[in-house]
Structure 1
Amino acid sequence: MSMIAKGNGLSPQILPRVASHGVPLRELMQLPRWQGMEVVAGADGLDAIVARLNIIEVPDIAPWIKEHEFLLSTGYPLRDASEAFISEIASSGAVGLAIKQGRYLDEIPAQMLHESNELGFPILTIPEDVAFDELLHEGLALILEKNLTVLERSDHVHRALINLVLQGGGLAEVVSQVAEVIEAHVIAVTPDGRLLAASGAESSSMQGQFDPSGRLLIERLKLGLQETAAEELVLFQAVASISSGADELGRIVASSDRVLSNSDLMILERAATVAALTITKRQAVAAVESKYQGDFLREVFAGKAGTPEQVGVYAKALGWNFEREQLVIVATLEPVVQLTPEEHRRAHDRFTAAWVSVTRTADPEAAIVGFANEVVIISASSAHGPRGYLETLTAGLSGDGGGGRHRFNAGVSRVVPAMEALPEGYRQAKQALGVGRRIHGAGSVADFETLGVFRILSLVPESEELRSFLDETLGELATREDAEAEDLRKTLGVLLDTNINVAETSRILHFHYNTLRYRILKLERMVGPFTIDPQLRLSLALSLRILTMRGLA
């Protein structure tokens, strides 16, 4: 995992760069009939990629210009062109302009030359004895030749990658082969940026592209070629989507301190297609394995998996270690109404894969299984305790919250001393999950050990008797939802927590002593003399906790 950099506070800025197949203008100028042309402005743009050549003879050509097009002109349209002509054609996709002076234009306007230098937009002059058709013939021939070379190279790599997969290679081997071919650091990640495979020397410029959990900030990268700048560091990158039909399986990203070419991008796109095959194959195998793992774990939780020795042997065959003190964790995605059943399935699969990635880093022998609507993890106990370990894992899952992630809830059991106690651990984790969700709402993380009285209250079913108890104990405070009632319930809760210590309650709530005395009198008129009746205080404390957990107020 050394290739996973931790966030260092840098905020990469994406700088668009060409993603078209063509030839640098500087290279075109080495052709026999192009050599006589002189650069009169915009020399900084000679490395621009030329994918097309075209002749213009009208001043309003901008709407018809295509991306990475180099223009040739007799100068005729420039006589009536606007002062912003250069910026207009540059913003439309043109990468340069060659003018044949003399017949229609004796001198290129100074404003155009100034604008070209400002934009790095090359303006060239064409010698009088060079015809346009000669420039077009030589230029297009070179562009086609280069494109053919790129296609041949990418096709060769594509066939090599297919053979690699047919011989049993996986995603790691595909990524390694691509990194070697294009001489760059290459990683494959999930749709939300979690590492699947990596190869090649990592550039120091990548440090700011990961969040603290090690997730690639994939939402900051666009498909194609680009430059990423962070402070004084510049990183050249190519990004391709790994897709299967309508499903996005991830991204493959190449990064280098050198400029990556269109040929490199095409190879990366071919590699993404092969990567989709390996991921799809792995998912199919994992689906079958997950079914057997899930069936076995359900049997364990039901106490029907056999003797402890048999359970231990079967678990070891699956790569799990049950012969140690463990924790059971249960996690669920927060329901999202807008998701279709199929979208929810894909989200749950990604959720399970994220738990596998994070947990296996901490415990390679952990069991992580996705049930229909929950993910169950059985992992070694931690020195940080159940809650500390769970918070470490959930922090790794959440990261900065980006990558299209959904909110989730999780609960963890007490330490399970032996595999015979796993069913009880599972029950505790599910109870912690459910109670935590009721108390804290969406995105809760709870541990069974600290649930306190809520563990008992969670076992009490909803009933008229429960409602009646709340009404008798809290009176109108059990049903009112206005701001005053909420404020009074809060005051009552703090008073009970401080054992009716008025001075301490005043300090916590930032009330004046007399204001709090007035509120106590008002509360006693509503619920009875709780300041002198310990049994009433107990009933009120239970009622407030029931309201907190059930949301009955």
Structure 2
Amino acid sequence: MNPMEGGRDMFHTVEDVLRLEGFEGVRLVAGRRGLGRTVTSASLMEVPDILPYVEENTLLITTLYPIAGSREQMEQLIPELGSRGVAGICIKPLRYIEQIPPVMISQADELGFPIVELPMGANLSTLVNLVLSMSLNDYISQLQFRDSVHRNMMEMLLSGAEVEELAEKLAELLQKDIVLLDNQLDSICAALRGEGETGWTIYRREEADRILKGLRLFENHYTMHPIKAGNNRFGFIFVPDSEKSDDNLKMAIEQAALLFASVFFKNYAVTLNQRNFKDVFIRDLLQGKIRSEIELENKMRAFDVSLAFPQYVVAIKLFTDNEVMRKHFYNELIDQNLISKRMAYFYQHIRKKNSVYFNDSIVVIENDQSEESVNEFYSQVIGKLEAEAGENSKIGIGISREVKNFSELKTGYRQAVHAVRVGNILYRDSFISRYSKNGLFELIEQINDTDLLVRFVRERLGAVIDYDRNNKASLMQTLEYLIQYHFNLKQVSEARYLHYNTVRYRANKLQQLGVDLEPGEGLGEIILAYRIYVWLKSIKKME
């Protein structure tokens, strides 16, 4: 017999117990509303201080002898038992008490706590054994059903069945609809039985989502259990129209989840292996190691990669000294089993692209038609990336110029990385830095003599750099603000929430240190020197 037939729990209720052979002649005297209370055990009340020892869902059987002489204990018993989740109490009167006290009956009716009066000939030990035997039989039935679920599904698993077939088998065993959900709570597949149908039909992903959309699954009773293997969570088993308190269902789903996890993990391992090879290929592209179009086409075909140009290379970097935090953040972005609901939209985007973890950043090759559309997308998600990374985190996103063919991907990657490095110096908070907007840096990059560049900066800004270092000041930052706001002190004050007199004092200090802030050729050289300074810092040639 399938314990799930009838759609009820394996455990019996007080009402079921009263139907047992041996309970003939009993009379329910109070607490009719509680006849549906679950009974999993029975116990005799042989001592006055029974309360610390009674367990939830226990049916207590007694003559009330231990407390018959205490009115206070008699008045406290029913509320205390009810608060402990006891199923009910069977009382055999006349021997030690003349009748069940009216106060108990009143309390029991109010609490919905069943009180059953036993006849004079009732054998208390026999009644306890009857309940315990019923519970034992139920537990044995539960174990047999669990083993049946495991055996049936294991046989299918060993024969090479996929998740859809396993879902259908689980639905048949449980006689309930089954939905497998991914970590974003989107459907993987669903085994559903229509009204009047005897069998289950399997629906996959979009089709399942379409059918389930109108059912409002989460508005009714349901059971949901994670599908996990180690630290990897692959999704959930969802059973609509089911009670979470159904222990038989829960045990069966736990068994099934282990088997589903093994299928998902096998597929995950295969995908991960393929991904590793694909990642190597993408890294080779970014490093310019693919030498010919023939080699490119062969590897694109082997790894199912598409590269329709133009492309843009995007580098995403988390700036933190916390290596664990950084690793967790990057893993969340590229691993579908770890991605959070907040980042599901971003993950769905980049998994359609060619993306890879490379040199402490996530690199995405975007095939948008314009740099503006790439910038617009990342402007929408950078706040979510920042929230995902954690409080006080700083995210840098660098966007390359347009990449017109595969041989330019190496240059595009270098541009994206450089845009991130420059942005980290220019911006204190999370930022998007576009290489095309830093044209001056592209010119500076062509000068191979870094000693010449360092000398140019030192001659014009050396005194300021030394002053900041020796006094733990930030005059170079003030110079950055002045350049950004075209040397308008009022705009700097308003945009950076600084008092106007503070900005004026710092500008005067810069002039005292030899910085020419008056319009003319000298000011042009100061601006150029600052840009070179930023460039040299980004390539770690200057402190």
- For the criterion TM > 0.5, the same-fold answer is yes
- Contact kept, 8 Å, 1:333 with 1:374, in 2: the verdict is yes
Q: Distance in 2 between matches of 1:320 and 1:401?
A: 29
1:138 matched to 2:126? The reply is no
Offset at residue 268 of structure 1 (A): 0.9
1:111 CA displacement: 6.2
CA distance in 2, matches of 1:511, 1:427: 36
Structure 1 residue 98, shift from structure 2 partner: 2.8
Alignment of 1:388 with 2:381, yes or no, is no
Q: Deviations over 1:469-507 (max 9, x none)?
A: 7542345235544xxx45x66655443322222443454
User: In the alignment, residue 125 of structure 1 is paired with which amino acid?
Assistant: E
The structure with the largest alpha-carbon Rg is: 2
Over aligned residues, Cα RMSD in angstroms? Answer: 4.8
Alignment of 1:239 onto 2:221: no
Match of 1:214 in 2: none
Contact 1:493-1:544 within 8 A present in 2 as well? no
Report whether the alignment pairs 1:278 with 2:263. Answer: yes
Unaligned runs of 5+ in 1: 1-19, 203-228
CA deviations 1:169-215 (Å, max 9, x no partner) are 3345434543564424533545xx6768342579xxxxxxxxxxxxx
Cα contact 1:439–1:548 (8 A) shared by 2: no
Report SS of the residue matched to 2:288: coil
Pairwise CA distance, 1:269:
0.6
Structure 1 position 285, deviation (Å)? 1.8
Tell me the amino acid that sits aligned with residue 186 of structure 1: V
Aligned residue number for residue 71 of structure 1? 60
Q: Which residue of 2 aligns with 1:102?
A: 94
Q: Which of 396, 407, 424 is the equivalent residue of 2:411? A: 424
Q: Which moved more, 1:348-357 or 1:290-299?
A: 348-357
Give the direction of change, closer, same or farther, for the CA distance of 1:432–1:491 in structure 2 (3 Å limit): closer
Aligned length: 493
Deviations 1:122-171 (Å, cap 9, x if unpaired)? 44333434332343343233323333333333322222322332233334
Q: Does the CA contact (< 8 Å) of 2:385 and 2:395 recur in 1?
A: no
1:423-481: CA deviation from partner (whole Å, max 9, x where unpaired) = 23333333345555566679766554456667788999899869957542345235544
- Give 1:301 deviation, angstroms: 2.9
Match of 2:236 in 1: 252
Alignment counterpart, residue 352 of structure 1, candidates 334, 342, 359: 334
Structure 2 vs 1, CA of residues 510 and 443 (structure 1 numbering), >3 Å: closer, same or farther?
closer
Distance 1:395 1:516 in 2: 30
The Cα offsets for residues 295-314 of structure 1, whole Å up to 9 and x where unpaired, read as 32233334333532442343
Deviation at 1:52, TM superposition (A): 1.9
Cα distance in 1 between the residues matched to 2:414 and 2:468: 34
TM-score with structure 2 length normalisation? 0.71
| 1:379–1:535 distance in 2 versus 1, CA, 3 Å | closer
8 A Cα contact 1:69 1:96, kept in partner? yes
The answer to whether structure 1 residue 267 and structure 2 residue 267 are counterparts is no
In structure 2, C-alpha distance between the alignment counterparts of 1:400 and 1:239, rounded to whole Å: 25
Of residues 310-319 and 106-115 in structure 1, the stretch that sits farther from structure 2 once superposed is 106-115
What is aligned with 2:296? 311
Match status 1:534 vs 2:518: no
Q: Secondary structure, in 3 states, of the residue corresponding to 1:81?
A: helix
Evaluate the alpha carbon distance shift between residue 500 and residue 184 of structure 1 in structure 2; reply closer, same or farther with a 3 A threshold.
Answer: same
Q: 1:503 to 1:60 in 2, by over 3 A?
A: same
CA gap 1:319/1:278 in 2 versus in 1, 3 angstroms: same
User: C-alpha distance in 1, partners of 2:62/2:136?
Assistant: 22
Corresponding residue for residue 477 of structure 1:
468
Distance 2:444 2:121 in 1: 95
The alpha carbon displacement at 1:72 in A equals 2.1
**Which one is further off, 154-163 or 119-128?**
119-128
| Residue equivalent to 2:188 | 197
Query: In 2 relative to 1, CA 32–472 (structure 1 residues): closer, same or farther, beyond 3 Å?
Result: same
C-alpha displacement of 1:320: 1.9
In 2: Cα distance, 1:539 partner to 1:337 partner:
35
User: Do the aligned partners of 2:61 and 2:128 also contact (CA within 8 Å) in 1?
Assistant: no
Q: Would you say the 8 A contact 1:21–1:51 is kept in 2?
A: no
The 1:501–1:98 alpha-carbon spacing in structure 2 relative to 1, beyond 3 Å, is same
Show the counterpart of 1:211: none
Work out whether residues 23 and 49 of structure 1, in 8 Å CA contact, stay in contact via their aligned partners in 2: yes
Which residues of 2 match residues 106-505 of structure 1 at below 5 A?
Answer: 106=98, 116=108, 120-179=112-171, 181-182=173-174, 183-189=176-182, 197-200=188-191, 233-240=219-226, 242-244=228-230, 247-250=231-234, 252-260=236-244, 261-331=246-316, 337=322, 339=324, 351-354=333-336, 361-362=348-349, 366-370=353-357, 375-381=362-368, 385-390=373-378, 411-436=398-423, 447-450=434-437, 471-481=462-472, 485-486=473-474, 492-505=479-492
Deviates more, 1:380-389 or 1:311-320: 380-389
1:201-233 CA-partner distances (Å, limit 9, x unpaired): 79xxxxxxxxxxxxxxxxxxxxxxxxxx99xx4
Q: Letter of the aligned partner of 1:239 in structure 2?
A: H
Q: Secondary structure at the match of 2:313?
A: strand
Q: Give the match for residue 214 of structure 2.
A: none
Contact (CA 8 Å) 2:170, 2:178: kept in 1 or not? no
- In structure 2, relative to structure 1, the CA distance for the partners of 1:129 and 1:534 (3 Å cut) is same
Amino acid at match of 1:60: D
- Measured in 2, the distance between the counterparts of 1:258 and 1:111 equals 38
The separation in 2 between residues aligned to 1:174 and 1:442, in whole angstroms, is 49
After TM superposition, the structure 1 stretch with the greater mean CA deviation from structure 2, 436-445 or 145-154, is: 436-445
d(CA) in 1 for partners of 2:264, 2:186: 13
Measured after TM superposition, the shift of residue 360 of structure 1 is 7.2
**CA positional deviation for 1:274:** 0.6
Taking CA–CA contacts closer than 8 Å with sequence separation of 6 or more, which of the two structures ends up with the larger relative contact order? Answer: 1
Deviations 1:224-255 (CA, angstroms, capped at 9, x unpaired): xxxxx99xx453324245234xx454453424
Taking every aligned residue pair, what percent have the same amino acid on both sides?
22
Q: Which residue of 2 aligns with 1:9?
A: none
Contact 2:456–2:529, Cα closer than 8 Å, also in 1: no
Distance 1:505 1:267, change over 3 A: same
Partner SS for 1:101: coil
Any unmatched runs of 5+ in structure 2? 1-8, 194-216
Q: CA deviation at 1:75?
A: 1.9
Give the equivalent residue in structure 1 for 2:197: none
* Distance in 2 of aligned mates of 1:71 and 1:457: 88
SS in 2 for 1:94: coil
Q: What residue number does 1:216 align with? A: none
Check whether the contact 2:51–2:80 (CA below 8 A) recurs between aligned residues: yes
* Conserved 8 A contact 1:101-1:125: yes
Q: Structure 2 counterpart of 1:289, which letter?
A: Q
Q: Could you tell me how far apart the structure 1 residues matched to 2:53 and 2:168 are?
A: 43
Classify 1:240/1:521 alpha carbon distance in 2 versus 1 (closer, same or farther; 3 Å).
Answer: closer
Q: Deviation digits for residues 35-79 of structure 1, max 9, x if unmatched?
A: 654445554443333222222222333333334333222223454
